[in-house]
Amino acid sequence: MTLMKKQVVKNSLGIILGAFIYAVAINDFLIPHQIGEGGVTGLTALGYYALAIPPALTNFVLNGILIIIGIRFLDKITIGYSVWAVFWISIFLKLPRLIHYHTTQTLIPTIIGGVLMGIAMAIIIDCQGTIAGSTILAKIVNRYLGIPTGSAMLFFDLIVAIPSGFIIGFQNMLLTIIELYLSAVILNQLLARFGAKRAVTIISEQYAQIAATLSKEYHQGITVIEAKGYYSQNQRPMLYVICTAKQLATIVPTISQIDAQALVVVDEVRSVQAEQLQRLL
């Protein structure tokens, strides 16, 4: 199996998992407690509360319309995976409830639902898809304006969530806003993990030995930056290393063993190849 085919299989299975978690959040936590949602999902819930329209039907029809709109602005791969996601979400929404949980403490299902929605959307988006609806609009805004996907989704979702108070009541409308905020925060945090690396700047008189050791033992790429101390006016090259958090845990002790007086500066950065730059937004 080629690398491309493996990636397609991985993304397809990941989207199915995300769709399942998404449907569980709606069927088992939000709808049973009359907590709304935003975007198409919010309209789906309102259609169920007010007119008893099956959520799967509303989800499929409205998302289909928005996918057609997305074709103009998003790449074919994203649209293809989005269709796949909408298909499986519609399937899972038709399944019976898996978790027969009900409580009068509606803040509990609000929090659980928001967390699950954020996780589900992060999985689907990380697999290059969307859940259509407001996610399509958010991806368009993200691509052209650079606004984080979760934040853009929250904006579009609130447009539906706030008026929903007339149907689900003021209290449930407030719970809906809390749930949307939680899912947006979690989505942004999880997506921010893509390309997360550590940038290590090393200033040491033993820079040559440190560079040689890191290169030999860890096969780590190292950049030597020519620098000069302002006070001493001495030339002292700096080492610049991009690594993962796991690699950092072994690199720092190695530096300390070679030169205990070395100055080591660690920054959190996000680093990918140029072809994946769009995913850093």
Distances, alpha carbon 12 to alpha carbons 5, 17, 179, 194, in Å:
10, 9, 27, 18
Q: Higher confidence at residue 250 or residue 51?
A: 250
Please state, in angstroms and rounded to a whole number, the distance separating the CA atoms of residues 61 and 63: 6
**pLDDT at residue 197 is higher than 90:** no
State the chain's mean pLDDT as an integer.
Answer: 82
Q: What is the mean pLDDT of residues 164-187?
A: 85
Q: How far is CA 251 from the centre of its chain?
A: 28
Please state, in angstroms and rounded to a whole number, the distance separating the CA atoms of residues 248 and 261: 18
pLDDT of residue 67: 78
**pLDDT at residue 131 is higher than 80:** no
pLDDT of residue 115: 94
Distances, alpha carbon 227 to alpha carbons 2, 207, 224, in Å:
45, 12, 9
**pLDDT at residue 143 is higher than 90:** no
Distances, alpha carbon 202 to alpha carbons 171, 211, 281, in Å:
54, 10, 29
**Interacting residues of 13 by C-beta distance below 8 A, sequence separation 6+:** none
**Lookup: tokens for 26:** 């709606």
pLDDT of residue 173: 85
Q: What is the mean pLDDT of residues 262-276?
A: 72
Report phi then psi at 16, rounded to 5. -60, -45
**pLDDT at residue 276 is higher than 60:** no
Q: In this prediction, what percent of the chain has a pLDDT beyond 90?
A: 17
Going by their DSSP bridges, the two strands 238-243 and 223-225 should be labelled as antiparallel
**Interacting residues of 157 by C-beta distance below 8 A, sequence separation 6+:** 37, 38, 39, 42, 134, 180, 184
Under the banding of pLDDT at 50, 70 and 90, the label for residue 277 is: very low
Under the banding of pLDDT at 50, 70 and 90, the label for residue 169 is: confident
pLDDT of residue 198: 85
Q: What is the mean pLDDT of residues 24-40?
A: 82
Please state, in angstroms and rounded to a whole number, the distance separating the CA atoms of residues 259 and 222: 17
State pLDDT tens for residues 214-251: 888 877 788 898 888 777 778 888 999 888 888 888 88
Q: What is the mean pLDDT of residues 157-170?
A: 79
- First CA to last CA distance, the chain: 31
Q: How far is CA 177 from the centre of its chain?
A: 19
Domains of the chain: 3-192 (no CATH), 197-280 (3.30.70.120)
pLDDT of residue 271: 61
Q: What is the mean pLDDT of residues 255-278?
A: 76
pLDDT of residue 188: 82
pLDDT of residue 70: 77
State pLDDT tens for residues 59-73: 778 777 777 777 877
